[in-house]
Amino acid sequence: MRVEQPYAENGRPIPRRIPLAAPFFDAAREGRLVLQRCPRDGFFFYPRSRCPVCLGDDWRWEAVSGRGTIYSYTVDRVGLDPAQQSQLPLVIAAVELEEGPRMTTRIVGCAPEAVSVGLPVEARFEDLGRETLIHFTPRPA
């Protein structure tokens, strides 16, 4: 079965919600970043039903700082998705949050040449109507 990918007017693909991740997207809409936190093992990301360390299901959603550093990145200058051609080049990064987990995300608000491993970044929220995306942008050190 083929599932249509929804797009915002600016060409950005809109993520599909799974019920488990609803608090993540609801918080993003309010300009907050929340992650699941296990009482024994701390924060984890991506959203899942059990802690990836102890498999406990007694985690809670908690706010995090939205600050981190670039762990790794790449620059997409080709664009596999035709709808995103107008947005190239895209900087795709793994951002290591101050609280520990790494998020795969986009780096926005700067030229690709300004991005480097270890660069301090902070969350930036982009309202696409149906959902709000979380990107990261450089912040003063």
Question: Rule CB under 5 A: which residues touch Zn ion?
Answer: 38, 40-41, 51, 53-54, 56
Smallest separation (angstroms) from Zn ion to the CB of 58 = 8
Q: Which residues pair with 44 in a beta bridge?
A: 36
Cβ proximity to Zn ion: between 18 and 53 the closer is: 53
CB of 34 to Zn ion, least distance (A): 17
| CB closer to Zn ion, 51 vs 93 | 51
For residue 102, with 0-12 CB atoms within 10 Å meaning exposed, 13-18 middle and 19 or more buried, which class applies? middle
In angstroms, the Cα distances linking 118 to 8, 40, 73, 89, 94 are 31, 28, 10, 20, 11
Residues 109 and 123: their CA atoms lie apart, in Å, by: 11
Task: Report, in Å, the least distance between residue 96 CB and Zn ion.
Answer: 19
Residue closer to Zn ion by CB (options 56, 89) is 56
Residue that has been written with the tokens 């991005």 in this structure: 115
How many residues are present in the chain?
Answer: 141
Q: Tell me whether residue 29 or residue 40 sits nearer to Zn ion (CB atom).
A: 40
Residue 15 beta carbon to Zn ion: minimum distance, rounded to whole angstroms: 25
